[in-house]
Amino acid sequence: MSTLAAAPPRDVVTGDPARLRRALGAFATGVTVVTVGGASPRGMTANSFTSVSLDPALVLLCIGKDAVMNRVLAEADTFAVSVLGAGQEDVARHFADRSRPLGAAQFDAVDWLPGDRTGAPLIAGAAAHFECARWRAYDGGDHTIHLGRVIALDDLPGREPLLFHGGRFRQAVPKAQGGRR
């Protein structure tokens, strides 16, 4: 019979945020840019993105409660997610920079196209695009968990994703030619 170990006391985990961040950094994630269109478009780099359900098609984003994008998503009916491709680290850094211009001007530094269903900016060269209708939002501690129903997508085969691991951007290691791993 297997027994689960009791969770450590709360202060052990929350008392050392740097250690928690390091441990969470052991999990490699993809890197996305979340966008909202309209009169004052907004973009933000996020690596907390995942699929939730295939039927209905749902995706999840976790956005810090103090982020401007959190308020923007709460007020928007639709949003988009561009899964960045290898070689798009500069795009990720641009949308993570809090000093970037506001509104449409923040998109002047990147190639993009408007989503067919949402009008939200989609980052050119991305590995995939998802256009979403706001579904639900939940409290997630210092973040808000936003769920979106996928209403359109573009999967762009053959594009390697940009990864984030151990506090650094990384690219997938290509498979060895003709050999085993």
pLDDT in tens, 113-131: 999 999 999 999 999 999 9
Q: Where are the domains of the chain?
A: 30-160
pTM for this model (two decimals): 0.84
What's the pLDDT score for residue 179? 46
Percent share of the chain, pLDDT over 90: 69
Q: Which residue has the higher pLDDT, 83 or 167?
A: 83
Over residues 156-181, mean pLDDT: 72
Over residues 67-88, mean pLDDT: 96
pLDDT at 62 over 80: yes
What's the pLDDT score for residue 163? 87
| Overall fold of domain 30-160 | Pnp Oxidase; Chain A (2.30.110)
Measured CA to CA, the distance from residue 81 to residue 100 in angstroms comes to 19
Name the DSSP class of 105: G
Chain length of the chain: 181
Element (H, E) at 60: strand 57-64
Measured CA to CA, the distance from residue 100 to residue 94 in angstroms comes to 7
